[in-house]
Amino acid sequence: MIRSRRLALVAATVVLGLTAAACGDDSSQSASTESVVGATPPVIKLGAGSSAGGGGAMPANESADRMMMPFAVFSYVFDGELPALDGTAPAWQFPAGVQPDAERVAAIAALLGVEGDVRAMAADMGGGWMVGPEDYSGATLTVSADGMLSWWFSPAPMVMPGMECVEPAVVDPVVVDPVDTAADTATSDTGTTDIAVAPPDDMRCAEPQPPSGVPDAATAEQQAKDLFAAMGYDTASMEFDVYADEWGASVTGWVLLGGARAPITVSVGYGAEGAITWASGTLAEPVAVGDYPLVGAAAGLERLNDESGMWMMYGGPAVMARDSGVGVGVGGGDVAVEPAPEPAVGAPEPMPDETLPVDMPVEEVVEPEEIVVTFTSVEIGLTQIWDADGTVWLLPAYVFADNDGGEWQVIAVDDSFIEMPPMPEPMPMPEPMPIDTVVSEPGDGTDPGEMPAPLDPAVAAVLVGLTDDEAAKVAEENGWGYRVVRADGVDFAVTDDYSPTRVNVELTAGVVTAIVSIG
């Protein structure tokens, strides 16, 4: 058993992986592609956070309810003998800046019932191309300007049928004699019977019924294959996933490259009477760029466990959120997490730190939890990566899987052909706040410089006879400090600092009656 550890912070917004695990053998028919294969394949300059896949595929029943996950110590373990999976493997790319074939776009629009001409979209509207009304009042076909020329179809807006609801009749309750409130009926003085009526039930609505004419799985698959072929796709080089129930059907065709499913798809959904409810795909053709040397499965496992997290943005695990022990899982992996402990009965609530404001929450420090993910198989697949210049790459990747169907992916290409984006500069430490220089007024006792000469009490006597406000104003105009230390026979508590130009006065009925001291 191979074991490795890493400390990671995993975010909620993990995107479902577009990883394509190797399916079939090398003899499988592949999509026809252009080729720019040379003696040495080019170096891949990864853009920051450029993975289009984001992470390995999560099981469908765990793909919801994702949220921010706290720090945890992840241990990725491979159970059994890890295969080498070294050597080389092919890669493809979708160069940036490719223009779509307008005739093909028009043909796809016509097949989907979209009316109008192919027109370029303004940059402030997202760029790309569009067929159909700009206000989306009818069916539309939109083509993105990304390297894959992704497209999607939206049908004309439909008025959703409402549910038929019946509100029960409400009968005013009859007030009965209090003695008979426990009975269902009571007899009045007139001999009539008063009936106590319970409140009405909630509004009753008819159960929604599935639409008619939804194709079954076999019919939907054949219709989709015919549609894709008419759109210009080589359905012989695809593998298909089909889903159908009484409410709708959908078909997804996966392009095969080098015998493996590539993260290149064309999909369609069917509803009532077999109508197309949505569709999407890509128009660009992948270009073969040659074979890249691989680092080996053991090194791939180490990349998953890289403590720097640099590989997490370009593959890595798809991780489910944990919420107090409920809905725990790491992509369906072999993970055991104990439920949150129940609080002790009668246990007092922890008191907040008295040094903090009352309204500031005190957060509990949670120690990182170890989560063990056990892999039982690994194979070579393809992962979709965005280059710094907008080129979309389909690179060899190791796809690790567990017994529950969870998958984790990581780039398998040798380091010498991968140029990582520069690590972000560490945030500089904040500069210390400057110490405010106190500009002291003469006589206020705060001037750190030379002490001025003491004020002559005879000079300060000009304040006697003035009101409190008048005396304060005169003192200010003369540059003196002014302080009332006694009023109407009551002494005030004052500071014991000394200022040779501060006048301490006594007030009587709001008038300065004496100079108590200077200082």
- Please check whether residues 244 and 129 belong to one and the same domain: yes
- Model confidence at 102, in pLDDT bands (50, 70, 90)? very high
> Does 174 fall in a domain?
no
Please provide the average confidence, as pLDDT, over all residues in the chain: 73
Is there a contact between 270 and 285 (Cβ–Cβ < 8 Å)? no
The SS3 call for residue 475 is: helix
- Model confidence at 52, in pLDDT bands (50, 70, 90)? very low
Is there a contact between 267 and 279 (Cβ–Cβ < 8 Å)? yes
Give me 103's structure tokens. 């005739």
- Please check whether residues 71 and 120 belong to one and the same domain: no
pLDDT at position 315: 56
Mean pLDDT calculated for residue range 421-447: 56
With 90 as the cut, is the pLDDT of residue 280 above it? yes
Mean pLDDT calculated for residue range 499-508: 89
- Model confidence at 54, in pLDDT bands (50, 70, 90)? very low
What is d(CA 131, CA 140) in angstroms, rounded to the nearest whole number? 6
pLDDT at position 55: 35
Domain boundaries, position 334: 2-22+39-96+288-338+369-419
Q: How many CB atoms lie within 10 A of CB 250?
A: 18
pLDDT at position 322: 26
pLDDT at position 492: 86
- Please check whether residues 231 and 327 belong to one and the same domain: no
Q: What is the DSSP string of 103-122?
A: HHHHHHHHHTT--S--EEPP
Mean pLDDT calculated for residue range 280-288: 94
CA angle 68, 395, 73 (to 5 degrees): 30
pLDDT at position 213: 95
With 90 as the cut, is the pLDDT of residue 53 above it? no
> Does 415 fall in a domain?
yes
pLDDT at position 27: 36
Which residues does 393 contact at the CB level (< 8 Å), separation at least 6?
A: 44, 91, 92, 93, 94, 384, 385, 386, 387
Q: Which residue has the higher pLDDT, 388 or 142?
A: 142
With 50 as the cut, is the pLDDT of residue 208 above it? yes
pLDDT at position 375: 94
Mean pLDDT calculated for residue range 71-77: 75
- Please check whether residues 301 and 271 belong to one and the same domain: no
Instruction: Identify the sign of the CA torsion 93, 95, 96, 101.
Output: negative
pLDDT at position 105: 96
- Please check whether residues 321 and 299 belong to one and the same domain: yes
pLDDT at position 294: 96
Choose among 331, 347, 350: nearest CA to 408.
331
> Does 504 fall in a domain?
yes
Choose among 408, 407, 410: nearest CA to 395.
410
- Please check whether residues 274 and 332 belong to one and the same domain: no
With 80 as the cut, is the pLDDT of residue 290 above it? yes
- Model confidence at 38, in pLDDT bands (50, 70, 90)? low
- Please check whether residues 56 and 86 belong to one and the same domain: yes
Q: At what angle do helices 217-230 and 102-111 cross, to 10 degrees?
A: 150
- Pick the range with the lowest mean pLDDT from 32-46, 328-342, 433-447: 328-342
Report the relative pairing of strands 418-419 and 490-491 from DSSP bridges.
unpaired
With 90 as the cut, is the pLDDT of residue 199 above it? no
- Give me the residues paired with residue 508 across strands: 511
What is d(CA 156, CA 443) in angstroms, rounded to the nearest whole number? 83
> Does 183 fall in a domain?
no
Q: What is the CATH number of the domain that holds 463?
A: 3.30.10
Is there a contact between 414 and 395 (Cβ–Cβ < 8 Å)? no
Q: For 104-116, write each residue's pLDDT tens digit.
A: 999 999 999 999 9
pTM score, whole prediction: 0.57
- Pick the range with the lowest mean pLDDT from 20-24, 134-138, 442-446: 20-24
- Please check whether residues 293 and 393 belong to one and the same domain: yes
- Please check whether residues 222 and 322 belong to one and the same domain: no
Is there a contact between 294 and 88 (Cβ–Cβ < 8 Å)? yes
- Considering its fold, how many domains does the chain have in total? 3
- Please check whether residues 140 and 279 belong to one and the same domain: yes
- Please check whether residues 461 and 389 belong to one and the same domain: no
- The residue type at 468: D
With 80 as the cut, is the pLDDT of residue 508 above it? yes
Which residues does 230 contact at the CB level (< 8 Å), separation at least 6?
A: 107, 111
> Does 303 fall in a domain?
yes
Q: For 400-412, write each residue's pLDDT tens digit.
A: 998 888 888 899 9
Mean pLDDT calculated for residue range 282-292: 93
Give me 153's structure tokens. 């179809």
Is there a contact between 485 and 502 (Cβ–Cβ < 8 Å)? no
Q: For 245-279, write each residue's pLDDT tens digit.
A: 999 999 999 999 888 888 899 999 999 999 999 99
Of the three residues 264, 283, 302, the one that is the final residue of a domain is: 283
Of the three residues 283, 307, 324, the one that is the final residue of a domain is: 283
> Does 172 fall in a domain?
no
What is d(CA 109, CA 80) in angstroms, rounded to the nearest whole number? 51
With 50 as the cut, is the pLDDT of residue 144 above it? yes
> Does 70 fall in a domain?
yes
> Does 436 fall in a domain?
no
- Please check whether residues 499 and 375 belong to one and the same domain: no
With 80 as the cut, is the pLDDT of residue 100 above it? yes
